[in-house]
Structure 1
Amino acid sequence: MPPCTLYEALATLPDPRSRHGRIHPLPAVMGLVALAMLSGRKSLAGISRFGRQHGAPLAHALGFRRGKTPTVSTLSRTLRRFDPQNREAALSRWVTGRCDPHAFEHIAIDGKTLRGSRQGDVPGHHLVAAYAPAVQAVLAQARVDAKTNEHKAALELLGILPVRGKVVTGDAMFCQRDLATQVIDSGGDYVLVAKDNQPALVTDIQAGFAFETAARSIAAATSP
């Protein structure tokens, strides 16, 4: 089966809008948002202006029946109703479907706060992303809410990623027993950073390396 297009992936999203007063087809709206953001438009005003600048030809190509793209207020009302996890799942299906799983062996997980997402005293949106450097693609990402942390969000990502045969890397935040276990159980390997916030683990690692070094020295000294 050929990989789906971005438009086809977005078209699978359930429509959260009431049937009353729908003007624009949902796949057309989501297609406009995706295309505008890929072109560098990061705000609702920029996305709406992108639609107006390209006019009726773009509107018809995306599936807008009236040849007009949404206003800022329409975009805001529509996007506010979406479940971010549904959007992420649709985008992840599109990306992973177009990435040959044999084309990369390394998956890097990391957490970041979205620039510009903080509003006053309201903290910014924090995400954990899984990135494949070899194909320069974000395979999936999950939001870290106030009730969880980065490593729990990473566990969700690992549950939907092609981990078998891959090496998962992460910083000290992800150096957790359950995460390492999930990677191994999924058929992958991991390289995680251990720091002084886990002194017992660091001591065990140092002792392991020291034992191996000593064992090699003894073997070399006693070998014929």
Structure 2
Amino acid sequence: MPARSSSLIPRPLGQLADTAPTVPDDLPGLLTCLAQVPDPRRDQGRHHPLAFVLSLAACAVLAGAKSLAAIAEWAADAPPNVLARLGGPCREPGRGPVAPAEATVRRVLQRIDGDALDTAVGSWLAGRERAAGQEENDSDRRPLPSLAVDGKTVRGARRTDGTQVHLLAAMTGIGLVTAQREVDATTNEITVFQPLLAPLNLHG
């Protein structure tokens, strides 16, 4: 069944729901990562940059949004200075940025390349974890570098043919999901394992 405006958030943004609270210094890094996601829309008729829509969605999820409708509501309530910091364009002199409509948010999040968004969100989360590790001086308390890969069936999510959605995720030693990919119904986790790890930095 196609996603509706009240549908749950896309799986890549779900990684943000359980992360530690962010600080203003985290924002530039998040915007940089999201800017790497390809835009699935045609050039004609774009009113809002893709990175702006994605950053609004990410911040809404970090603030507790759990559905597409909640993301759009958070964006609509965001003050102009927040919209500007997230890359919102000013189209009229003397007027601040305008949040995208709910229909725009829904269409973008339904059409976005899930793997590309996963990679962007995962790279930002991994960067936060590395920065936190560098600030931790007590090596006895710092967990050893590790990465675990596990599969899970997403509860309540089904494809248009009725089959359940199954994900393969890579997690760090503290439970941070740095990458995840959907396992197609016609294959298994083994075929997804190498592509899942390919973009990750496995040094050490």
Ranges in structure 1 where 5+ consecutive residues have no aligned partner: 166-224
Q: Does 1:84 align with 2:108?
A: no
SS in 1 for 2:32: helix
- How far is the alpha carbon of 1:93 from its aligned partner? 2.4
- How far is the alpha carbon of 1:164 from its aligned partner? 4.7
SS in 1 for 2:78: helix
Residue 60 (structure 2) aligned to one of 8, 15, 36: 36
Change over 3 Å in CA distance of 1:57–1:164 after alignment to 2 = closer
Q: Which segments of structure 1 move beyond 4 Å, counting only runs of 4 or more?
A: none
Partner of 2:185: 146
Change over 3 Å in CA distance of 1:29–1:97 after alignment to 2 = same
Partner of 2:11: none
Partner of 1:105: 145
CA distance in 2, matches of 1:56, 1:123: 42
Q: Which amino acid aligns with 1:137?
A: L
- How far is the alpha carbon of 1:119 from its aligned partner? 6.5
- How far is the alpha carbon of 1:120 from its aligned partner? 7.9
- How far is the alpha carbon of 1:143 from its aligned partner? 0.9
Ranges in structure 2 where 5+ consecutive residues have no aligned partner: 1-25, 91-96, 135-142
- How far is the alpha carbon of 1:146 from its aligned partner? 1.6
Partner of 2:80: 56
CA distance in 1, matches of 2:193, 2:151: 9
Contact 1:108/1:132 (<8 A) preserved: yes
Q: Which amino acid aligns with 2:119?
A: A
- How far is the alpha carbon of 1:76 from its aligned partner? 1.7
Change over 3 Å in CA distance of 1:137–1:68 after alignment to 2 = same
CA distance in 1, matches of 2:114, 2:69: 20
Q: Which has the larger radius of gyration?
A: 1
CA distance in 1, matches of 2:198, 2:36: 21
Change over 3 Å in CA distance of 1:73–1:124 after alignment to 2 = farther
Contact 2:65/2:71 (<8 A) preserved: yes
Percentage identity across paired residues of the two chains: 38
CA distance in 1, matches of 2:178, 2:160: 31
Q: Which amino acid aligns with 2:110?
A: R
SS in 1 for 2:81: helix
Contact 1:104/1:132 (<8 A) preserved: no
Contact 1:9/1:90 (<8 A) preserved: yes
- Report the TM-score when normalising by structure 1: 0.63
- How far is the alpha carbon of 1:32 from its aligned partner? 0.4
Residue 133 (structure 1) aligned to one of 152, 166, 173: 173
SS in 2 for 1:108: strand
SS in 1 for 2:75: helix
1:1-224 paired onto structure 2 within 5 Å: 5-66=29-90, 67-100=97-130, 104-118=144-158, 122-134=162-174, 136-165=175-204
User: RMSD of the alignment, in Å?
Assistant: 2.5
